[in-house]
Structures are given as C-alpha cells and as structure tokens.
Amino acid sequence: MTRNISNALHSAIIFIVVTIFLFLIGFTTTGSELIIKALSPSIAKTSEGLEIGFTIFISLIGFIIGLVASKREEPDTLGRNLVAGTIAGLISGVVIGLFGFLMGTLIENGIDLRGYLQSVSPDSMRKIVFDQPPNIGALRLGGIILLSSIFGSFINSTVIRAEWRKSLSTSVSESSTADSVRKTASKLGANQGFRMAMMAVLAAILIILPQQWGSYWNFVMGTVGIYILLGIGVNLIIGLAGQLILGYVAFFAIGAYTFALLTAPAPHNLQWNFWIAVGLAMISATIGSLFIGLPILNLRGDYLAIVTLGFGEIIRILVKSDLLTKFTGGPRGVRDIPGPTIFGQSFSSDVDYMYLIIAAVVVTAFVANRLQNSATGRAWVAIREDETVSKTTGVNSFAYKLLAFALSAAIAGLAGALFASRNQFTGPDDHVLMVSINVLCLLIVGGMGSLPGILLGAFTLKGLPELLRELENYRLLIFGALLVVMMLIRPEGLWPATRPKLEEKGKSIEAQKGEPT
Amino acid sequence: MMLEIDNLNVYYNAIHALKGISFHLEKGEIVALIGANGAGKSTTLNTISGILRPRIGSVLFEGEDLTKIPPQDIVRKGIIQVPEGRKIFSKMTVAENLDIGAYASNDRARIKSNMDMMFQRFPRLSERRNQLGGTLSGGEQQMLAIARALMAEPRLLLMDEPSMGLAPILVEQIFDIIRDINEQGTSILLVEQNAQMALSISDRGYVMETGKIVLEGPSNELLVNPVVIDAYLGGGHD
C-alpha cells in the first residue's frame, strides 16, 4: 500500500511542477486558445470561449495525472486504480488549487508579478481562477483536477489496461495489428511492380503539389526540404560513421556565403552563373571540412563535439565581424541574391524553387542510400561500432571518417546555397548554433540512419512549428519535451533504420531477434 | 624468422608499460605469451597491430619494420588480431561481421568462398548468419571473432585471451579450433591468462611480468618449471 501511495505521489509531484511551470510561462493561455479554436472557432475570442478552453486544458492535465498515477498499480484491479488516481488527483488538486489561490490573492491585492516573471500578467492569472474570487476559483481549479484524475484512472483501468490484459491472454505468437501492417508493407515493398507504381504516384504528387498548394506552403515545405538535405548530410557523419559533429552549420554557412558572394550584386558584383556558384558552394564547404577535419578527426566523442561546435561559432562570428565586413557584408548580410536560370529563362518562382529543392533531395537521398548499402557504408558502421577493431580488420578509419565528413559538408554546402538563393538573402543570423541543434534533433526524433526517419523528423521539427505559429514562443520548450519523451518511449526514433541484409533476403532479422541465444 | 620483437618499449603517457621486451616467432609456430593482469600482454599485441606505437624498439615481420606502418596496412601484410573480449560488431549481422573481416580484400569471389568455408567450419554461425552479432552467446561471439579474423586470410594470427569468460567446455572447443587453424599453416601468437591451456597447445612460451619477459622456453619445459607451476599453474595449492 505504501508503495502505491508513493507511486501516486511521485506522478502527482511531477505534474504539479510541470503544471505550475506552464502557468508561469503563460502557456496555459496559449494552450486554451488553441483548444477552443480547434473546437469552435466562433467563440474563440470571447471570454466564455477562453474559460471553456482553459477548463478542457486543466481537465486534460488532470486526466493524464490519473492515467499515469494508476499505470503501475498492482494488483491490477479497478479499486486500486481508482485509489491511485484519487490520491494523485487530490494532492495535485490541492497544491495547484493553492497556487491558484495564492496567485489570485496577489493579483487582487494589486501586486503585479510581471517584474519578476514576464509572462505572469494579471489577466492570465485571473483566468486561472476563472475570474472569480481566489477561494472559489481555487476550489474549482482543484476540483476539476481531482475529478478528471479519478476519471483518468477509471479510463486507464477499464479501457487501456483491459486492452492490455486481453492482448496478454491471446496467443503471444499472434501478431498485433501494427506488426501485420508492417509485414504487409514490407511484403508489398519487396514487390517490384508495386514499388514502381508507388514511385510513379509519389513522383506525380511531387510534381503536382507545388503548383497547387500556393506560395506559403511552398515556402514551408521548401524549408523542410532544406532541412531534409541537412539531415541526410549529418546522418552520414553522425548516424553512420558515428562521429559527433556539432558545428554542422559551419558548412551550411560556407555554402550559403560562397554562393551569395559569387552571385549577388554587392559587395563584389561578381554575378556568376547560378549552377556554377552552387557547385563552388559545395566545393568550398568540402574544402572547409577538410581544413577542419584533417587536424581534428583523430579526436573522439565529446572532444570532437566541442571542437566542431567551436568551429561553427567561429565561422558565424567571422562573417559577422567588422574585419570582414567589406568582404562578407558583415552583420547586414548579403542581399538581392538572384535566382537560377535554365537556358536563359528565369527559374525562380516559388514553384520552381520547390522543384529545385525536391530534385536536390531526391538526388542526395539516392546517393546517400547507395553509399549506406555499399562497402563504404559498412566500413562507416564498423567505425561507429568500434573504431579500434575496425582498424584491426583493415579499415582505414581516418580516411573513411574524412570521406563521411567531406560528403556531409558538401551536402550542407548545397543546402546553404539553395537556402540563400531562395531567400534572396543570407546573413549571420541564418547560421546560428540552433541550426545544428535542429538538424541533430530531427535526426534523433526521426531515427538515426534512416531516410524515412529524416523525412519524418524534418516535417515534425520544421514543418509543424511553421504551421502552428501560435506556439512559436514555446518552440524550444516543445522540442525539449519532445526529445525527453522520445528518449523515454522510443529511443530509436519515429522510423528507425532497418539493417540491410547481406544474404538470404527472405529471412527477416526482426523475426530472429526474439530467439534465445 | 617470421616475427622478431626487439627491445620494445611502450608507454601510456608516463606509464612504462613494456620495458624492453624481445622475443621471436618462427613460421608455423604457436607461441604463448602468459602472465598475470597488467603484465603487458595485450599491449604487446596492440603494438604489433600498430594500434600502439613503441617509443624504442622494433617489430620486424619477415624483415620489415612494422612500427611505422598504419594499422590497416599491417592487416594487409597478413597480421590479424582477434581482440580481447571478442569485440564483434554487435549491430551488424554475423554475415556482415565476416564481410568486414575481409575488408582488405577486393576479390568478391574469394570473399564469398571464404565465407562459405567459415560457415562450414562454424555451423553455429551459419545458422545465425542473419542474426545481429550482439545477440550471440559468448562462445558464439568468440567463434565469430575468430572467423572474422580468418576472413582476412592471416599468415600470423594474434589472439588476445580467447578463453576469457567462457565455460570450460567452450574453452576446450576454442583451443581445438586454434590448434586446427595452426595445423592449416597459420602461425599464432597466443596471449593467455589460462597458462595451462596455452602452454599445452603451444610450441614455445614466454612468461611476462610487469612489462618484462622473465622466463622463456619450450612449452613442455615451462609446464614443469617450478616457478611457472607456483605462479601460474596453481601449484602449491592443490
């Protein structure tokens, strides 16, 4: 019994901290607005609407508290689950209610907390207690949490855990729906004709969509495409060769600036051909990677990460510096970068750029995929697994690491050039550390070493935030939460890599994994 | 003489790990290097493989000094190490592990036939060829490590503690395999803590203690040497 209470207490404390944190950063207001907007846009702006949204928001939190608190209750009976949900709901209801009471009282006494906490406006705090006197509002707040928590534990016991019990009692060998879907998919995937048909459909979609969905979508998806490129590049060196490179943005910057300086009217007025400039952008990024890679690729692990992190910052600060303002345009960046032309025709509408980016992604993905499944790919994986042993099997680990590094830099250079050209601008602020972190995140969320994973990760991390503009201020918060959740429940990523099979294509590795050894 | 080590001095920063050891190995021999933990046995093997570099001394392989040659080229000369603790690639399948073993070769047909040979020699590996290396048992992993090394067609095989962490029956099996490999013409330098087993299959042995070679001789003589019996064969206690 004590163990149960401590379990419930545990989840209650976590959620109390999270909820109060969400209150203090003002996320509750944004969240409530989003909820009510999704449910009924007509009353979204009214104060009743906000109140309903907030009630739903708070109920959701309470529901999750109940769900989590009763998750590990043993023995698994309805009573036990309900007790856990009630205890957790009661504790968190009381504490969060007290918090609401405290805030409400402070606001009522005319104390403005914005001096200490930027997002704690009197208005948003009054919303917490439903625009009512602090004592009544706090009771209502705590009551909602308690009730929804009990409801959560009830649902957990009657629906979720019941399903689980059912699946336990049915034969273990009987595969779940998800498994059978996957098996069907892989069976279809092996079918040549089906693959061709899928490719044709995909190609048709990629050709038609950019013309149909308007310039806003082209912009958003273009950015996603650029990040897919970066993801493919970084996957070579981090995902396959296992070398933790953090300053990847350096090569993005080198590519973007090489391209910009060669084509823009200022500061050098070179105005070279688009395609030559893109090629040179890739080459200069590669040279940059050799320049930094030759001396440092012997470092391992954290040391390599730190040095490359520094390199990324050095490049950004260099292009921004007064010293190089004449050469790079300094903090103001390079402007009026012209678009591409094909056979003398301008090729720079938003649709054209989308095609260009899609083409770049397809070609890069194809090359990366071929490399991954070649002897070179196996050498990279061997280095990732154990560099010393890979040496004793005859792999020239330094050369292969350098190759992976140079290739990924070239891809970053290409992405940088396309990015600069599409935006018609590049400046130091396009090349901040956050770009490297984003790319790493999309790799982790999507799944290291897997191409579909990269696509999925790029959509999740770059596409969704663009579409959910309201959440802009909380982007980092959500990234962080997403990473933590991913590490806990699906550390291999949304769409993990499957190992290519060397022999006997019929037999699946997955099927043998469970075998005792 | 196939391998000749002369006055080898190796340091880990300030720590003097090998204090001027010298020994040799004739073509076709099994030579055992025995000694306690920290005697410098693995250091010796890693220096021959080129992973560590000596400060003083030379490693001559068929008259050529290996101390300036990078590890991957030493592999191409036919010196292959089976590392301590097996160190198979756990995220690769058995077949891929073998394939990586033949990395120095470009002859696909030969690699294929070598792999078939390995699967004949180690039927357990054949059964598990598409299984990830990390899911194998300890004995199977040791077999995989040996098979991976054999894929490179070694002329000199460096084996680092092949018996480590294995059940006695598996140790017997592994040593049978080692003898078998030797009979087919591969010279073997065997590093072992299990002195009894190592000396029973080797032609000659060296005893190492804190970075020096303190005893050497034909294995059958070392087996009855009172000093060796006392220190390494559990003598005086049974």
Write the residue in A375, A397, A501 that is nearest to B130 by C-beta. A501
pLDDT at site A407: 96
> Which residues of B fall within a CB distance of 8 Å from A241?
none
Query: pLDDT above 90 covers what percent of chain A?
Result: 30
Taking CA–CA distances from A507, the nearest residue in chain B reads B130
Q: What is the mean pLDDT of residues A227-247?
A: 93
Contact A505/B at CB under 8 A: no
pLDDT tens readout for residues A159-170:
877 777 777 665
Contact A502/B at CB under 8 A: yes
CATH of the domain spanning A200-502: 1.10.3470
> Which residues of B fall within a CB distance of 8 Å from A496?
none
**A130 φψ region: left (φ > 0), alpha (ψ -120 to 50), beta (else):** left
Upper half-sphere CA count for residue A21 (Cβ side, 13 Å): 9
DSSP secondary structure, A366-425, as one string = HHHHHHHTSHHHHHHHHHHH-HHHHHHTT--HHHHHHHHHHHHHHHHHHHHHHHHHHHTE
> Which residues of B fall within a CB distance of 8 Å from A509?
93, 130-132
Confidence of residue A177 (pLDDT cuts 50, 70, 90): low
Domains of chain B and CATH, by start: 1-27+51-69 (no CATH), 72-188 (3.40.50.300)
Dihedral angle at the C-alpha atoms of A495, A500, A506, A509, nearest 10 degrees?
-70
pLDDT of residue B234 exceeding 60, the answer is yes
Residue A511 makes CB contacts below 8 A (sequence gap 6+) with: none
> Which residues of B fall within a CB distance of 8 Å from A512?
128, 130-131, 135
> Which residues of B fall within a CB distance of 8 Å from A501?
93, 130
pLDDT of residue B142 exceeding 90, the answer is yes
Write the residue in A382, A508, A509 that is nearest to B89 by C-beta. A382
Closest chain B C-alpha to A67 CA, distance in angstroms? 35
Locate all alpha helices (DSSP H) within A424-505, ordered by sequence. 433-446, 451-458, 464-467, 475-489
Write the residue in A379, A386, A393 that is nearest to B101 by C-beta. A393
Q: Are the CB atoms for A286 and A409 separated by under 8 Å?
A: yes
Q: What is the rounded distance in angstroms from the CA atom of residue A426 to the CA atom of residue A315?
A: 14
Residue A481 makes CB contacts below 8 A (sequence gap 6+) with: none
- Identity of residue B5: I
pLDDT at site A187: 63
Q: What is the rounded distance in angstroms from the CA atom of residue A328 to the CA atom of residue A390?
A: 42
pLDDT of residue A500 exceeding 60, the answer is no
Taking CA–CA distances from A385, the nearest residue in chain B reads B89
Q: What is the rounded distance in angstroms from the CA atom of residue A67 to the CA atom of residue A85?
A: 7
pLDDT tens readout for residues B73-83:
999 999 999 99
> 3-class SS at A205?
helix
Confidence of residue B57 (pLDDT cuts 50, 70, 90): very high
- Identity of residue B135: T
> 3-class SS at B16?
strand
**Cα dihedral B222, B224, B227, B232 sign:** positive
Least confident of A43-47, A137-141, A299-303, B220-224: A43-47
Q: What is the rounded distance in angstroms from the CA atom of residue A436 to the CA atom of residue B53?
A: 37
Listed by start position, the domains of chain A span 2-168, 200-502
- CA B32 to chain CA centroid, Å, is 9
Closest chain B C-alpha to A396 CA, distance in angstroms? 6
Bridge partners of A413, per DSSP, are none
Query: pLDDT above 90 covers what percent of chain B?
Result: 76
Write the residue in B96, B131, B136 that is nearest to A378 by C-beta. B96
Cβ contact A393–B95 (<8 Å):
no
Copy the structure tokens of residue A488: 């806990």
pLDDT of residue B130 exceeding 60, the answer is yes
Q: How many residues does chain B have?
A: 238
Write the residue in A393, A499, A515 that is nearest to B100 by C-beta. A393
Average pLDDT, rounded, for chain A: 83
> Which residues of B fall within a CB distance of 8 Å from A380?
none
Least confident of A127-136, A288-297, A396-405, B140-149: A127-136
> Which residues of A fall within a CB distance of 8 Å from B51?
388, 391-392
Query: pLDDT above 70 covers what percent of chain A?
Result: 90
Write the residue in A388, A395, A512 that is nearest to B130 by C-beta. A512
Distances (CA, A) of A26 to A29, A44, A51, A135: 6, 17, 15, 21
DSSP secondary structure, B38-104, as one string = TSSHHHHHHHHHTSS--SEEEEEETTEE-TTS-HHHHHHTTEEEE-TT----TTSBHHHHHHHHTTT
Taking CA–CA distances from A499, the nearest residue in chain B reads B92
Residue B102 makes CB contacts below 8 A (sequence gap 6+) with: B111, B114, B115, B151, B152
Angle between helices A192-212 and A350-372 (to 10 degrees): 150
Q: What is the C-alpha R_g of chain B?
A: 18
- CA B63 to chain CA centroid, Å, is 21
Which run of H or of E encompasses A68? helix A47-69
Closest chain B C-alpha to A191 CA, distance in angstroms? 21
pLDDT of residue A513 exceeding 80, the answer is no
Cβ contact A394–B104 (<8 Å):
yes
Q: Are the CB atoms for A142 and A96 separated by under 8 Å?
A: yes
The closest alpha carbon to A498, from A516, A490, A510, A514, belongs to A510
Q: What is the mean pLDDT of residues A330-353?
A: 85
Confidence of residue A104 (pLDDT cuts 50, 70, 90): confident
pLDDT at site B46: 94
Contact B126/A at CB under 8 A: no
Other Cβ atoms closer than 10 A to A91: 23
- CA B61 to chain CA centroid, Å, is 16
Locate all alpha helices (DSSP H) within A70-120, ordered by sequence. 78-108
**Cα dihedral A17, A18, A21, A22 sign:** negative
Question: Any idea which residue has 């099927």 for tokens?
Answer: A511
pLDDT tens readout for residues A247-260:
899 999 999 999 99
Q: What is the rounded distance in angstroms from the CA atom of residue B142 to the CA atom of residue B176?
A: 13
Q: What is the mean pLDDT of residues A206-225?
A: 86
Cβ contact A504–B89 (<8 Å):
no
The closest alpha carbon to B21, from B49, B1, B50, B45, belongs to B45
Q: What is the mean pLDDT of residues A361-374?
A: 92
> 3-class SS at B189?
strand
Copy the structure tokens of residue A50: 């906000």
Q: What is the mean pLDDT of residues A215-235?
A: 91
Taking CA–CA distances from B148, the nearest residue in chain A reads A393
pLDDT at site A106: 86
Write the residue in A381, A385, A512 that is nearest to B131 by C-beta. A512
Q: What is the rounded distance in angstroms from the CA atom of residue A278 to the CA atom of residue A300?
A: 32
Q: Are the CB atoms for A393 and B148 separated by under 8 Å?
A: yes
> 3-class SS at B33?
strand
> 3-class SS at B30?
strand
Cβ contact B75–A385 (<8 Å):
no
Q: What is the mean pLDDT of residues A275-284?
A: 95
Q: What is the rounded distance in angstroms from the CA atom of residue B35 to the CA atom of residue A25?
A: 64
Q: Are the CB atoms for A369 and B77 separated by under 8 Å?
A: no
Question: Any idea which residue has 């903090």 for tokens?
Answer: A331
The torsion angles phi and psi of A401, rounded to 5 degrees, stand at -65, -40
Distances (CA, A) of A462 to A200, A238, A341, A352, A435: 26, 20, 28, 21, 11
The closest alpha carbon to B165, from B193, B144, B126, B207, belongs to B193
pLDDT tens readout for residues B14-28:
899 999 999 999 999
**Cα dihedral A354, A355, A356, A362 sign:** positive
Q: What is the rounded distance in angstroms from the CA atom of residue A192 to the CA atom of residue B86?
A: 40
